Structure 1
Amino acid sequence: MNYLLLLRGINVGGNHKVPMANLRDLLMAAGFASVRSYINSGNLFFTSDRSTAECSHLVAQVLTRNFDFSIDFRLLTQSEFLADLVQAPDWWGADDTLRHNALFKLNTYDDAHDSWLTGHITTDYDQVLITHNVIFWTSTLRTHFSRSFYSKIMGTPFYQQTSARNYKTTNKLKQILEESND
């Protein structure tokens, strides 16, 4: 089975350094195959015959044993990831003057955040669609950004339990996963 591993908060501003080459080697040593990464922000792909739960447990062990800081993550099967992306709304990514992010729900994500979020977004400046694993979010980019709810989520428990990828990166992850079937 093909998997996508999304890490949060690594290699940002020189903090929590996780060299992708080292992590790829560690994952291969743990028994995963065809391990590769995309950019330096914690997007990894691998294959395994193990269940998602078993793979997630092994990933947690690798991260805990080899890094002296906590790394939250989400492991998705190819079919889970692609099923969520099919649900992306038409407005997500449509306007280049807006900010388009996919916030992936990490293993620590509290589902109560879904209703909290829908109760707080500012519909004049934010559009949100929540799926099982992903929150598609479009907000203002520069003009009136401070009025968007997206500008207010940094540092909140909600934001700490998600890992954001922009529209371009999310589509590149999709392309890589689709090519792994070829």
Structure 2
Amino acid sequence: MTRYVAFLRAVNVGGTGKLPMSELRAMCESIGFTNVRTYIASGNVVFESKLTEASVKARLERCLEIYAGKPVGVLVRTGAELVAVVDGNPFGAAAPNRTVAIFLDAPPPADALSHVSGQQDEEIALGTREVYVHYSNGIAHSKLKIPAVRTGTARNMNTVAKLAEWATD
């Protein structure tokens, strides 16, 4: 069994994509995932499965589309991969609530940073299948746009660290 973490895109953010975490847990169990736990109400779920990452993603996205009536993106990492995201954070000395990992399905393009707009004081770095951003003045007033991450989903490093802990304990 592999322990996975799934990050759902646009769930319970800004009044859109309402999904009670009890429903998410039930969905995951209904498609055969075990030891299912959710973390905060923004679409984070830790579970075990014998399936490959691609199969986990496909099954969960299919189930969520039936529930929501529209596609819901899912980004998946193993526990070990999530630990590597925490360890690979180039902004580890910065406030974890002002630093995010934006999870992607594939490695970010090598030229991803050359297409950024609206950058002010934000620091950006490419990861394996994520992009790290440190918002030194907070995210609320940022005008930063990173086209390469439009299909990704961001979590602050406090959340990433807690999920990495859950996925490896």
Give the TM-score range, shorter chain: 0.7 to 0.9
Written as runs of structure 1 = structure 2, the 5 A alignment for 1:12-161 is 12-89=13-90, 92-96=91-95, 99-105=98-104, 107=105, 111-112=108-109, 114-118=110-114, 120=116, 125-141=121-137, 151-153=143-145, 157-161=147-151
List, as ranges, runs of 4+ consecutive aligned residues in structure 1 with deviation greater than 6 Å: 121-124
Bigger Rg, which one: 1
Instruction: Give the counterpart of 2:159 among 159, 169, 175.
Output: 169
Determine the C-alpha separation between the residues in 2 that align with 1:98 and 1:66. 31
Give CA deviations for 1:65-91 in whole Å, capped at 9, x if unaligned. 2211321110111122222322222xx
Number of matched residues?
167
Structure 2 gap ranges (5+): none
Structure 1 gap ranges (5+): none
State the TM-score, normalizing by the size of structure 2.
0.84
Task: Note closer, same or farther for the CA distance 1:122–1:70 as it changes in structure 2 (3 Å cut).
Answer: closer
Structure 1 vs Structure 2 CA RMSD: 2.7
Determine the C-alpha separation between the residues in 1 that align with 2:41 and 2:124. 27
State the TM-score, normalizing by the size of structure 1.
0.79
**More displaced, 124-133 or 8-17?**
124-133
Determine the C-alpha separation between the residues in 1 that align with 2:147 and 2:62. 24
Determine the C-alpha separation between the residues in 2 that align with 1:79 and 1:110. 17
